[in-house]
């Protein structure tokens, strides 16, 4: 954990982290990995909108949200929520996602006729599900919650797809581990906070900042993106992610989500000043230290 | 329809179009819109892998596959299947996706306890589903197939989310139209074919070609992407889409999916020659005419 967080800790006994999902969910795992060694209090939200609402209601709440997955791709909706929320990214974490197929402790394969999980987890286990066509595939709000409900309500015949951590937490039997189709299954999570809180953090760890995320609009002109990227390159700023999104209703304009990495914070700041006149609606989504991962 | 297709038609009585999904699915609608005025025979496949298998088995088969959606984002898996398949894009179509909530003709809202559809359709109707928590959300292979099964098996209490076209086709009652959360819900479909077939088409409609899709790898170097985009800009080539994907296991290299638009085919060809030495593994996924849409 970087210095800023230790500074913050002096003033607060326990950080409040809003996540989508419940105890044992991948957001929970990522939050505990990111804030390793610190005591955190989870605020479990039913959806990503509620994560941002929690921060709006209490500026001390920190949010943790998935932003992209190597299999499922970018969570465009979360990009949009982040852009609109006015919160700032203060960190990131990359988590290897491995799913388990779990059931009630006194049941086995032959007893099962239904599987419950979050739609993205189901998507990531498509091959496994195709091999078990007898299972009715039922969407739930969350991976861990699916396991919890089966256990609490003693739902015979139901299996869940969730993390091994969730299975252990809710006393479920793991029938098969690593059921995700593609083993290169990683999710990148962003840690977001109220701008007021970010400013406080930033005074103390500017040195550690080597990454930034931004979104801007460009006219659909030959070379408008090339100009922006050339300037970033002149300032020795590296691109680590770029994604264009058409702006519906504005046919000739595009929105670009760009992540950059750099060694020199001042040079980075200068590059932003240099590209601003060539872009429209440039919005910095956050400046942070490149993420740790459990990879 | 462009001239190439009419040429082709002289030699074949009916085009065989492989789609993911069944009659009444959005792929079916897109295929009929794209090949308007032509007789087509659908080959309905359970998944996208089977679409490519159909083309491999019979080089005269044309594939139609969703590649990106304004809400759900890029279908990364289809990008990858396309890249690996060796097929070429010969066209595109942009379809406005509007979902309906449908049930058996003799049932009504009060009778329903379960809703069936394709996971992406369910995702696009999340707000509607949240408003109806009494409905168990069950994933199916396809939107239209969900409606078909409910009708065929007379599944009381079941609703489906599908197109109005599918509801009409299978004699289902439409309880609510336009239940997608975001009305700016568009899917871009690609038309793909065996390279042998593409060559035949290409002789006759090079004039109409004003778009191309490609994928290449770049070292994670300051400015490597900026150099490539600068060259494209010098040749008056427009970017219409760019998306970077990290290559798992090759930490410092990135894969880029890029779509370009141009007026001058020769200039475009020259630009590809010019960028090739600066990229690795450049692969042209297809050259085609910009897509019509029903927007």
Which of B125, B221, B226 to mutate to test binding with chain A, by most A CBs within 10 Å of its CB? B226
pLDDT for A182: 84
Position A57 pLDDT exceeds 90: yes
Query: Which whole number is the average pLDDT over A20-44?
Result: 93
DSSP string, chain B: --HHHHHHHHH-SSEEEEEES-TTSHHHHHHHHHTTTS-EEEEEESSHHHHHHHHHH-TT-EEEEEEEETTTEE-HHHHHHHHHH--EEEEEEEEE---EEEE-TT--GGG--EEEE-HHHHHHTHHHHHT-TTSEEEE-S-HHHHHHHHHHTT-TTEEEEE-HHHHHHTT-EEEEE---S-S--EEEEEEEE-HHHHHHHHHHHGGG--EEEEEEEEES-TTHHHHHHHHHHHTTPEEEEEEEEE-TT-TTEEEEEEEEE-S-HHHHHHHHHHHGGGSEEEEEEEEEPPPEE--
Q: Which of A160-174, A238-252, B64-78 has the lowest mean pLDDT?
A: A238-252
> What ranges do the domains of chain B cover?
3-96+185-206, 100-177, 209-293
Q: Which of A249-258, B8-17, B121-130 has the highest mean pLDDT?
A: B121-130
pLDDT for A1: 44
pLDDT tens-digit series, residues A82-103:
999 999 999 999 999 999 999 9
How sure is the predictor about A9, in pLDDT bands with cuts at 50, 70 and 90?
A: very low
Helix (H, G, I), strand (E, B) or coil at A17: strand
Neighboring chain B residues of A94 at a CB cutoff of 8 Å: none
pLDDT for A91: 92
How sure is the predictor about B198, in pLDDT bands with cuts at 50, 70 and 90?
A: confident
Tell me the average pLDDT of chain A: 89
Four-way CATH pick for A3-96+185-206: 3.40.50.970, 3.30.70.980, 3.30.450.20, 3.40.190.10:
3.40.190.10
Contacts of A131 (CB under 8 A, 6+ apart): none
Position A267 pLDDT exceeds 60: yes
pLDDT for A173: 97
Q: Do B243 and A242 touch (CB under 8 A)?
A: yes
Q: B3-96+185-206 and B209-293: same fold?
A: no
B173/A71: higher pLDDT: B173
Domain A100-177 belongs to what topology? D-Maltodextrin-Binding Protein; domain 2 (3.40.190)
The total number of residues written for chain B in this structure: 295
Residues of A with CB under 8 A from a CB of B: 47, 70-77, 119, 122-123, 136-140, 184, 186, 220-223, 225-227, 229-230, 232-233, 236-244, 246, 248-249, 254, 256
pLDDT tens-digit series, residues A233-265:
999 999 989 998 877 666 667 889 999 999 999
Neighboring chain B residues of A249 at a CB cutoff of 8 Å: 184
Position B76 pLDDT exceeds 70: yes
Q: Could you tell me which CATH class the domain A209-290 is placed in?
A: alpha beta
CA distance A112 to chain B (A): 16
Which of B77, B239, B255 to mutate to test binding with chain A, by most A CBs within 10 Å of its CB? B239
pLDDT for A11: 52
pLDDT tens-digit series, residues B250-264:
666 788 999 999 999
pLDDT for B249: 63
**CATH number, domain B209-293:** 3.30.70.260
Q: Do B75 and A73 touch (CB under 8 A)?
A: yes
| Prediction ipTM score | 0.79
Q: Which of A10-19, A198-207, B45-54 has the lowest mean pLDDT?
A: A198-207
Residue A251: closest CA among chain B residues belongs to which residue? B240
Query: Which whole number is the average pLDDT over A154-180?
Result: 96
Q: Do B72 and A76 touch (CB under 8 A)?
A: yes
Instruction: Give the helix/strand (H/E) hosting A187.
Output: strand A186-193
Position A185 pLDDT exceeds 90: no
Position B232 pLDDT exceeds 80: yes
Name the nearest CA neighbour of A97 among A136, A143, A135: A143
Query: Which whole number is the average pLDDT over B267-280?
Result: 96
pLDDT for B31: 95
Tell me the average pLDDT of chain B: 89
pLDDT tens-digit series, residues A281-293:
999 999 999 887 7
pLDDT for B215: 96
Query: Which whole number is the average pLDDT over A206-232?
Result: 87
Residues of B with CB under 8 A from a CB of A: 70-77, 119, 122-123, 130, 136-139, 184, 186, 220-223, 225-227, 229-230, 232-233, 236-244, 246, 248-249, 254, 256
Burial of B60 (0-12, 13-18, 19+ CB in 10 A): middle
Neighboring chain A residues of B186 at a CB cutoff of 8 Å: 248
Position A221 pLDDT exceeds 90: no
Position B295 pLDDT exceeds 60: no
Q: Do B225 and A236 touch (CB under 8 A)?
A: no
How sure is the predictor about B11, in pLDDT bands with cuts at 50, 70 and 90?
A: low
CA distance B221 to chain A (A): 7
């Amino acid at each position: 954990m970087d210095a800023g967080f230790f500074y913050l800790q002096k003033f607060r006994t326990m950080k409040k982290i809003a996540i989508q999902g419940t105890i044992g969910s991948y957001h929970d795992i990522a939050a505990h990995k990111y804030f390793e060694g610190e005591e955190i209090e989870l605020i479990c939200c039913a959806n990503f909108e509620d994560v941002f609402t929690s921060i709006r209601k209490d500026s001390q709440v920190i949010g943790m949200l998935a932003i992209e997955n190597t299999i499922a791709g970018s969570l465009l909706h979360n990009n949009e929520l982040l852009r609109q929320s006015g919160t700032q990214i203060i960190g990131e974490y990359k988590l290897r996602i491995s799913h388990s197929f779990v059931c009630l402790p006194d049941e086995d394969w032959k007893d099962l006729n239904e599987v419950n999980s979050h739609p993205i987890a189901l998507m990531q286990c498509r091959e496994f599900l195709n091999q078990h066509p007898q299972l009715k595939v039922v969407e739930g709000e969350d991976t861990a919650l699916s396991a919890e409900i089966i256990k609490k309500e003693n739902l015979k015949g139901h299996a869940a797809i969730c993390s091994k951590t969730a299975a252990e937490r809710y006393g479920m039997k793991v029938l098969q581990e690593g059921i995700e189709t593609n083993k290169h299954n990683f999710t990148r999570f962003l840690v977001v906070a109220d701008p007021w809180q970010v400013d406080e953090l930033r005074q103390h760890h500017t040195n550690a900042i080597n990454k930034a995320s931004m979104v801007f609009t460009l006219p659909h002109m030959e070379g408008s993106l090339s100009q922006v990227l050339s300037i970033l390159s002149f300032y020795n700023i590296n691109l680590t992610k770029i994604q264009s999104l058409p702006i519906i209703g504005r046919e000739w304009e595009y929105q670009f989500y760009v992540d950059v990495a750099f060694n020199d914070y001042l040079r980075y700041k200068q590059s932003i000043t240099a590209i601003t006149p060539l872009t429209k609606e440039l919005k910095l989504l956050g400046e942070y230290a490149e993420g740790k991962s459990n990879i």
